[in-house]
């Protein structure tokens, strides 16, 4: 499939300049299809590992009113062909009415969109870049086509959108992101939960350990291992202890140490003692992990000691939903570090969490979803007018971070935000994933 991006914006924002930069020396103008005006340039560019078709809607010689109406037609046609719209403003000038007009066309099309503020080479562009938020197209990318600033960010955003759309269409993305990069993993828990035993079990089953002892003298106390053929960098709390012993420090790990491990990691396994589950310290650490936005997986350790295993799972699931509502649906995986049981399932849970933590949802899908959510359960009235939620987009992954635009962000109740966050988790199948959700003002 050819992924097509239309570069859209009012005249003079720098669309052609950006088009030329993205297409680069590989400039290969694609034959325009019949019926299209000659003013619309089309070319294929190689961005990342992908071949992306770009449409430039600039290049009109007209002047005055003619120009805008011509541009409108041009732009409509280009948007119609596009899988993604790259909307450009001139950040030095900020958002002016002509930008609003083109933005309206993009919005009405329902196509996914990336917004960039061009001419960002100087500080004078900063306020204008912020204004771009008000368009409701998510976080604007700072760009200077002429000075080649931000081109990497623009191509990365395009590639991401292309991959997300491939995935959504079930075509699979061309580059499996992060496959080769080791997954950063930390294992935390209160004293005696069984962390060291688990780390040893993971390392022990794997014969590919490197640098376990060397870790004592290294700054980052990490062990490299492989699980099911995937590289992992494991923050080694046991190693941290050895290091402390060497340095003559007390052996108890403080919250600061847990935090260090958590910040190192992409996914954190919280080890709890299934016989004494969800004590205050467990919850404190869980809360830290979630607040740091890390993927969390809970290992129910010492499962070998549990009698009524089936009843226990149910009981622990209920406790967890009640005590950790911030991470609804977090994976609970029974293991025995001591007996090396359940480790494959635990690690499968870890990899799945890492995948979800990296997930990107296409804007168009999110907006359809938002409409349904608002319809099913409208936001409350404030001062006689119903709060409006018009648009949302995922501005970041790792963890998934969303921005929604609301007529009066400060007045939208917490409970409504929880409704949306829990809905996202459920409808887009991201159980237990820490989700960040921000509101911005926008009609
Ligand atoms: P288009 O009409 O949107 O295609 O805009 P052009 O690409 O033709 O650019 C309009 C004007 O803005 C030209 O004079 C460009 O040289 C200038 N321009 C483009 N990009 C930048 C930039 O990053 N910084 C500055 N300062 N000027 C730029
Ligand atoms: P840490 O303080 O979290 O690193 O905990 P340790 O790994 O030192 O384990 C604390 C105690 O729990 C030790 O006596 C372990 O042998 C025991 N333990 C750890 N995992 C298991 C397990 O899966 N089953 C049982 N029965 N005991 C375990």
Largest Cα span, the chain: 82
Bigger pLDDT: 70 or 390? 390
Nearest residue (by CA) to ligand 1, atom 19, is 14
Any idea what the Cα angle at residue 198 is, between residues 192 and 204, rounded to 5°?
140
pLDDT at 238: 55
234-258 mean pLDDT: 59
Range in 177-186, 269-278, 308-317, 381-390 with the lowest mean pLDDT: 177-186
Question: Is pTM beyond 0.90 here?
Answer: no
Is it the case that residue 442 has pLDDT exceeding 60?
yes
**Rounded Cα–Cα distance for residues 7 and 75 (Å):** 9
Q: Which ligand is nearest to the CA of 198?
A: 2
pLDDT at 1: 62
Any idea what the Cα angle at residue 431 is, between residues 428 and 436, rounded to 5°?
75
Range in 104-113, 232-241, 352-361, 419-428 with the lowest mean pLDDT: 232-241
408-430 mean pLDDT: 93
Consecutive H or E run containing 47: strand 41-47
Q: Which residues line ligand 2 (CB under 6 A)?
A: 189, 191-197, 301-302, 304-305, 336-338
Mutate which of 189, 192, 204, 254 to test ligand 2's pocket (most atoms within 8 Å of Cβ)? Answer: 192
Is it the case that residue 35 has pLDDT exceeding 60?
no
Question: What are the structure tokens assigned to 46, written together?
Answer: 């190689």
pLDDT at 251: 46
Binding-site residue numbers are 9-16, 56-60, 118-121, 189-196, 236-240, 301-304
Residue 247: which pLDDT band, with cuts at 50, 70 and 90? low
Is it the case that residue 300 has pLDDT exceeding 50?
yes
Residue 254: which pLDDT band, with cuts at 50, 70 and 90? low
Range in 34-48, 211-225, 326-340 with the lowest mean pLDDT: 211-225
351-370 mean pLDDT: 91
pLDDT at 40: 60
Write down the mean pLDDT value for the chain: 82
Range in 41-55, 219-233, 255-269 with the lowest mean pLDDT: 219-233
Q: Which residues line ligand 1 (CB under 6 A)?
A: 9, 11-17, 58, 118-119, 121, 144-147
Consecutive H or E run containing 186: strand 183-188
pLDDT at 200: 84
Any idea what the Cα angle at residue 183 is, between residues 181 and 186, rounded to 5°?
150
pLDDT at 31: 41
Residue 174: which pLDDT band, with cuts at 50, 70 and 90? very low
Is it the case that residue 30 has pLDDT exceeding 50?
no
pLDDT at 244: 54
Which spans in 171-329 are helix H?
Answer: 195-205, 237-246, 255-264, 280-291, 309-323
Bigger pLDDT: 219 or 430? 430
> Ligand 1 mean position to 46 CA, how many Å?
22
Mutate which of 8, 11, 16, 17 to test ligand 1's pocket (most atoms within 8 Å of Cβ)? Answer: 17
> Ligand 2 mean position to 298 CA, how many Å?
16
Q: Which ligand is nearest to the CA of 11?
A: 1
258-277 mean pLDDT: 91
**Rounded Cα–Cα distance for residues 431 and 361 (Å):** 15
Backbone angles phi and psi of 78, in degrees to 5 = -65, -45
> Ligand 1, closest atom to CA 17?
7
Closest to 223 measured CA to CA, from 237, 207, 209 = 209
99-124 tens-digit pLDDT = 998 999 999 888 899 999 999 998 88
Is it the case that residue 98 has pLDDT exceeding 60?
yes
Percent of the chain scored above 70 by pLDDT? 81
Range in 32-46, 201-215, 290-304 with the lowest mean pLDDT: 201-215
Is it the case that residue 214 has pLDDT exceeding 70?
no
């Amino acid at each position: 499939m050819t992924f097509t991006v239309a570069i859209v914006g009012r005249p003079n924002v720098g669309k052609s300049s950006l088009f030329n930069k993205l297409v680069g020396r590989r400039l290969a103008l694609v034959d325009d299809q019949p019926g299209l005006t000659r003013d619309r340039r089309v070319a294929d560019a190689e961005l990342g590992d992908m071949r992306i078709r770009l449409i430039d809607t600039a290049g009109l010689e007209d002047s005055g009113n003619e120009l805008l109406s011509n541009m409108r037609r041009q732009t409509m046609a280009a948007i119609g062909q596009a899988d993604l719209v790259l909307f450009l403003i001139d950040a030095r000038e900020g958002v002016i009415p002509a930008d609003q007009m083109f933005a309206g066309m993009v919005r009405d099309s329902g196509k996914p969109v990336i917004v960039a503020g061009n001419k960002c080479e100087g500080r004078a562009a900063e306020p204008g870049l912020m204004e771009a938020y008000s368009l409701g197209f998510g976080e604007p990318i700072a760009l200077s086509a002429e000075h080649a600033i931000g081109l990497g960010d623009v191509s990365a955003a395009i590639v991401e959108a292309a991959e997300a759309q491939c995935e959504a269409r079930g075509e699979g993305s061309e580059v499996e992101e992060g496959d080769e990069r080791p997954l950063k993993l930390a294992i935390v828990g209160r004293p005696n939960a069984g962390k060291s035993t688990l780390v040893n079990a993971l390392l022990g089953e794997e014969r590919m350990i490197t640098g376990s002892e060397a870790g004592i003298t290294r700054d980052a106390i990490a062990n490299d291992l492989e699980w099911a053929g995937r590289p992992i960098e494991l923050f080694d709390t046991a190693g941290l202890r050895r290091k402390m012993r060497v340095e003559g420090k007390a052996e108890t790990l403080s919250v600061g140490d847990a935090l260090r491990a958590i910040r190192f990691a992409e996914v954190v396994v919280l080890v709890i003692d299934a016989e004494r589950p969800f004590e205050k310290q467990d919850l404190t650490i869980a809360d830290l992990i979630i607040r740091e936005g890390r993927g969390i997986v809970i290992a129910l350790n010492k499962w070998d000691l549990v009698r009524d295993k089936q009843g226990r799972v149910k009981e622990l699931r209920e406790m967890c939903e009640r005590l950790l509502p911030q991470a609804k649906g977090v994976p609970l995986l029974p293991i025995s570090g001591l007996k090396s049981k359940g480790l494959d399932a635990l690690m499968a849970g870890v990899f799945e969490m890492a995948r979800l933590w990296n997930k990107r949802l296409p804007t168009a899908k999110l907006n359809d979803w938002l409409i349904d959510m608002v319809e099913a359960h409208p936001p409350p009235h404030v001062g006689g007018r119903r709060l409006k939620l018009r648009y949302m987009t995922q501005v970041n992954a790792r963890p998934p971070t969303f921005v929604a635009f609301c007529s009066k962000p400060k007045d939208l109740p917490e409970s409504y935000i929880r409704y949306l966050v829990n809905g996202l988790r459920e409808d887009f199948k991201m159980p237990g994933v820490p989700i960040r959700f921000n509101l911005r003002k926008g009609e």
